[in-house]
Structure formats: C-alpha cells, structure tokens
Amino acid sequence: MGRSAEPFEADVEKVLEVLQQIAAQYGQETTEYASLKVAAKAILFANAESTRQRFEEFLHAFQGELTSAQIEHLRSVGIEVPGNTGSE
C-alpha cells in the first residue's frame, strides 16, 4: 500500500519523482510512458503558472521603496536599481 498523500500533494518534486519511477516500468514507446510524460509536463506547467501568478500578485501589491537590504541583494546579483536609495 502507498504512503499518505496529504503532505505529498504539495511537493511537486516528489510527485515528479514518483511519475518517473512509474514511467521507468514501461518502455519509452508505450502509451503509458507517453501519458506519464504529458502528466509530468502538465504538473510543471501548472506549478509555473501558479508561481507566475503569485509573483504578479506580489508586484501588484508591492508599495513603497525597496529597503536597503533589498537593494544590496539586487546589487550583489548584478542588478542596479536606479533612483531607489532604499529604506529601512
């Protein structure tokens, strides 16, 4: 019998690992393998869309100036923020 699915459902990496394990039981030319491959891509797409949507919501809700720590972090990864002196 399988494991409890409650915390598992939100862990995309674990879901994809299980799909990979199941797919390994079939030849790459089978409809089962192809179906699992499509399912994995659908999960990745849904996860990417969710992340994009959350980011857009964050951008829409973001108010005010960047903090000094945020500006410093952006600069540390090579991004300059013109005209923003930052706030604490």
Q: What is the pLDDT of residues 6-53, one digit of tens each?
A: 556 668 899 999 999 999 999 999 999 999 999 999 999 988 888 888
Residues making up the chain, counted from first to last: 88
Answer yes or no: is 68 within a domain: no
Residue 31 belongs to what domain range? 8-63
Answer yes or no: is 38 within a domain: yes
Number of folded domains in the chain? 1
Task: Report the 3 state secondary structure along the chain.
Answer: CCCCCCCHHHCHHHHHHHHHHHHCCCCCCCHHHHHHHHHHHHHHHHHHHHHHHHHHHHHHHCCCCCEHHHHHHHHHCCCCCCCCCCEC
Q: Cα(44)–Cα(12) distance, rounded to whole angstroms?
A: 8
Answer yes or no: is 37 within a domain: yes
Answer yes or no: is 1 within a domain: no
Answer yes or no: is 86 within a domain: no
Answer yes or no: is 21 within a domain: yes
Task: Report the pLDDT value the prediction gives residue 16, as an integer from 0 to 100.
Answer: 94
Answer yes or no: is 49 within a domain: yes
Answer yes or no: is 32 within a domain: yes
Instruction: Return the higher-pLDDT residue of 60 and 28.
Output: 28
Instruction: Return the higher-pLDDT residue of 88 and 74.
Output: 74
Burial class (CB within 10 angstroms; exposed 0-12, middle 13-18, buried 19+) of 36: buried
